[in-house]
Structure formats: structure tokens, C-alpha cells
């Protein structure tokens, strides 16, 4: 069997205006809509795989990070069925150049990936291991940061955590050549360690660590309240501070303005970790931010999902919608928009495009409203919006089973790559190799 098998699909999608890159076709009503050509590929073995992040690389290609449980099929350098980080490097023509796994004998899952200034890569996720590639485990689950060279060999790796379940979710390289990583700290299990402020919260908090270029800790602080606070994304601000986004249902300590069950909770900290401001956005239901990106005008766009229909959320199409908001560097809400249908539609990633707009990746159970099609249960969903957050086009990919998209990136040639996971083997998904496969979608 060949290393991968692809199927070319043509999707008609509704847009607000035509996309110059796509050929036009007529829909049932006689109007002109663009046709989007997509290549759908699955990678994996006989167990479980998932793609969590995709980034454009400086050579015109792209890299994908996720995790794998398999030791067969497309996974060529693994000897057991424990979960490991799985990285795949593609060239500009989407040909796979190399793929490698990283981890130990227990559960290790990669969630975020960046290309570093030296042409290598940094991978962040969580690890329960303390053997093989993982040199240290501080207790239960740790943040595990892996620095690779350009060919995927490990330059160094570090674990960060205490006795509880500490999960690394987001990494950026900072302006000084170091790193900032964030995720969830189990504050109760750590006994208040991990925070130079010396204030002990309960449960899980946003944990931010500023690292030097070798992974050494320069400072470590956590932010949150007495309930559940989960950070999913971070960017460095123009003043060298950081903006961290995620969700919170806390109403105390660092959270001053909770609106509903869960809110988009945005935290601005200084270059040294001092909390400068924090704000909650949402309505009276559940609202969870998953990603943040800087816009071309110096503001910030945040993506996630909402079940609300009041306060900051002007409109809701169904049970849950993709929700995108734009804020200033001081946290002022500039605009917001919901995208979805009558069922559950969520965003898990956002990236900026060369035309000043944004791409969102997530999943959908809808087949109405803004969503033109559903093949069964959750489909992978990719959406393009303009600079004001207005829908330009959307498309779903999936089969009769559960399919998710977690990461999206625009390449130098303006083609789009989406990654996630699939359990399907029908309709848009031509092949399933195990339980869940890494889902790869290329839109030219």
C-alpha cells in the first residue's frame, strides 16, 4: 500500500464575494459561487492519531504536530502503543519529507508547534514519561518542551511541572530569542509552587513561564481564581508583554468581571509577568476562547465558541457558534461575530491571511445557517473571514463518523492546510487506517 492515499473533492461553498483564486460555478439558484478544490489525506496506523497544529515554514512548505499511538502503517520509528508526539514535515508541493515521533513509554501528546529563528522547531505538549526521550518527570503530567534542529533531531528537551496534572498548551518564541510557554498548572497539587507572587489558588490556573534560549526558567507565574481557568493561546505584545487567552468560570482572585458560566478570559501581563489587566468577554452561557492572532492593524483577534446570545454576543445561530472578537491592545472590544448553524459549531484555531483576513478551523454538526453541508456527526470545518470578521467562505470535510479540525495555516502561495483527526472512512474520507487517523486537508 502506498504511504498515503488521497482523494480530490470539489466543494461548492457560499461566500459574500467571489475568490479570485477559484473557478466560478453556478448553484441551484443560478448565482455564481466559487468551487474549492481540496485534497483530503489520512495518515496513521492501526491505533489512534491526531493532528493538533500546522504551521507554514520558511522554505515554503509546512509542518504538522500531533500525537500517535500506533507503531505501524505510516508511523515508522515507534515500537510500542503508548502515545508520543508525532511531527510531519512537508515541502511546498505537500510531499512528505520526514516524520518522527518523540516521547517515552507513557502518554506524551504534542499540542503546539513553532518554527524557531534558527530554522529548527519547538514542540510543546504534555508528558507522563520519564524515560527514552523524556529525561525528567516531576510528578503525574508535566509540560514537555522539545527543541529540534531543522532535520527533526532533538537539540534539547525540558519538563516543567510539580506533583499534579500540568498540561502545556501553547508556545511562542520571544523577541529576545527565548520562549514563553503557557498551559494549565494544577495549583492545588503544587502547593502553591510555580508562582513568585506567593498567592495560592485552588484548582487549575493559567501558568506562564518565561524561558531563556536554552529552556531555563527566567520567571514563572500563574493567574486565575478558585475554579477552572484554561489558557489555550498567547501572543507577545508590542511592549514585550504577553496576552494570554482561554476560558474561565472563576469569579474571584484575578477574575474581576465574570459574565456567565465560562467566559473568554483575556489576561495582559508585562514583560516580567505582572498582571496589567484582565477582561472577560461573552454572555451568560458557556464561551471558550481557543486561539489569538495579531491583526495587521496592531489589534488582536480571538477565536473560540459561544453558547450565549446576550451581553457581548449579539447573535447566536443555534446551540453553539464559532465566535470571533477583535480587541485593542488595552482590551477594548472593537467587534464580534458568530458563524454557524442550528447545531454545534466551534473554532479551535485562527491564523492571519495575506489579504488581511483570517482562517478558522474547528468542527460543525450543522447543515444550515452559515454551514452548507454536514456528512454525519461532527465534520471538520474551515472558515475564511475578512478583516472585519465577515464570512467569505466555509467548507466542511467529513464522513459518517466523528471528524475534527484543530489547526489551520495559509502557505506562501495562499493555499490553505488544515489538520485534525477523523474516525470516518466514507464520503469525503477515502481511507481510515485504524481507530482515528490524522486528517490532512489541502485547499489550493
Query: Among 334, 241, 338, 248, which Cα is nearest to 295's?
Result: 334
Buried b (16+ CB within 10 A) or exposed e, 299-328: ebbbbbbbbbeebbbeebbbebbbbbbbbe
Question: pLDDT 10s per residue in the chain (444 long)?
Answer: 333 333 333 333 332 222 333 333 333 333 333 556 679 999 999 999 999 999 999 999 999 999 999 999 999 999 899 999 999 999 999 999 999 999 999 999 999 999 999 999 999 999 999 999 999 999 999 999 999 999 999 999 999 999 999 999 999 999 999 999 999 999 888 887 887 655 656 667 999 999 999 999 999 999 998 888 999 999 999 999 999 999 999 988 898 999 989 999 999 999 999 999 999 999 999 999 999 999 999 999 999 999 999 999 999 999 999 999 999 999 999 999 999 999 999 999 999 999 999 999 999 999 999 999 999 999 999 999 999 999 999 999 999 999 999 999 999 999 999 999 999 999 999 999 999 999 999 998
Output the CA–CA distances (angstroms, integers) from residue 139 to 40, 96, 144, 256, in the order listed: 40, 36, 12, 32
Half-sphere exposure at residue 211, Cβ-oriented, CA atoms within 13 angstroms:
24
Q: Which residue has the cell 470539489?
A: 10
Buried b (16+ CB within 10 A) or exposed e, 360-396: bbbbbbbeebbbbbbbeebbbbbbbbebebebbbbbb
Query: Among 181, 163, 280, which Cα is nearest to 227's?
Result: 280
pTM: 0.91
327, three cell numbers: 480587541
d(CA 232, CA 92): 28
Amino acid at each position: 500500500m502506498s504511504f498515503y492515499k488521497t482523494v480530490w473533492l470539489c466543494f461548492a461553498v457560499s461566500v459574500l464575494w467571489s475568490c479570485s483564486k477559484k473557478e466560478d460555478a453556478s448553484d441551484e439558484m443560478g448565482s455564481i459561487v466559487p468551487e474549492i478544490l481540496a485534497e483530503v489525506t489520512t495518515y496513521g496506523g492501526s491505533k489512534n492519531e491526531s493532528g493538533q497544529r500546522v504551521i507554514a515554514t520558511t522554505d515554503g512548505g509546512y509542518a504538522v504536530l500531533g500525537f500517535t499511538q500506533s507503531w505501524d502503517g505510516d508511523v515508522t520509528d515507534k515500537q510500542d502503543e503508548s502515545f508520543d508526539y508525532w511531527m510531519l514535515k512537508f515541502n511546498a508541493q505537500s510531499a512528505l519529507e520526514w516524520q518522527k515521533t518523540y516521547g517515552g513509554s507513557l502518554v506524551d501528546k504534542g499540542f503546539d508547534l513553532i518554527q524557531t529563528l534558527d530554522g529548527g522547531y519547538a514542540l510543546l505538549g504534555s508528558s507522563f514519561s520519564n524515560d527514552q526521550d523524556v529525561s525528567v518527570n516531576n510528578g503525574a503530567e508535566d509540560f514537555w518542551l522539545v527543541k529540534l534542529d531543522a532535520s527533526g533531531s532533538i537539540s534539547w528537551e525540558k519538563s516543567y511541572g510539580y506533583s499534579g496534572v500540568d498540561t502545556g498548551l501553547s508556545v511562542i518564541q520571544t523577541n529576545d530569542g527565548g520562549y514563553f510557554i503557557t498551559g494549565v498548572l494544577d495549583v492545588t497539587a503544587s502547593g502553591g509552587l510555580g508562582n513568585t507572587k506567593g498567592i495560592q489558588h485552588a484548582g487549575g490556573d493559567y501558568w506562564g513561564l518565561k524561558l531563556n534560549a536554552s529552556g531555563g526558567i527566567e520567571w514563572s507565574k500563574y493567574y486565575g481564581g478558585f475554579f477552572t481557568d484554561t489558557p489555550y493561546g498567547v501572543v507577545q505584545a508590542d511592549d514585550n508583554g504577553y496576552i494570554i487567552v482561554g476560558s474561565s468560570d472563576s469569579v474571584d482572585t484575578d477574575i474581576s468581571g465574570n459574565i456567565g458560566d465560562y467566559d473568554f478570559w483575556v489576561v495582559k501581563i508585562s514583560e516580567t509577568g505582572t498582571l496589567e489587566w484582565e477582561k472577560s468577554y461573552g454572555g451568560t452561557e458557556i464561551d471558550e476562547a481557543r486561539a489569538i492572532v495579531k491583526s495587521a492593524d496592531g489589534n488582536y483577534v480571538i477565536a473560540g465558541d459561544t453558547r450565549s446570545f446576550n451581553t457581548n454576543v449579539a447573535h447566536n445561530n443555534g446551540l453553539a457558534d464559532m465566535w470571533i472578537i477583535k480587541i485593542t491592545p488595552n482590551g477594548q472590544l472593537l467587534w464580534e461575530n458568530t458563524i454557524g448553524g442550528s447545531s454545534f459549531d466551534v473554532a479551535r484555531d485562527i491564523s492571519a491571511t495575506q489579504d488581511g483576513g483570517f482562517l478558522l478551523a474547528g468542527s460543525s454538526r450543522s447543515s444550515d445557517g452559515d454551514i452548507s453541508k454536514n456528512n454525519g456527526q461532527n465534520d471538520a470545518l474551515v472558515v475564511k473571514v475578512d478583516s472585519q470578521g465577515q464570512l467569505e467562505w466555509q467548507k466542511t470535510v467529513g464522513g459518517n463518523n466523528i471528524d475534527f479540525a484543530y489547526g489551520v495555516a495559509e502557505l506562501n502561495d495562499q493555499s490553505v492546510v488544515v489538520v485534525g483527526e477523523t474516525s470516518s472512512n466514507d464520503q469525503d474520507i477515502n481511507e481510515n487506517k485504524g481507530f482515528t487517523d490524522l486528517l490532512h486537508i489541502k485547499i489550493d
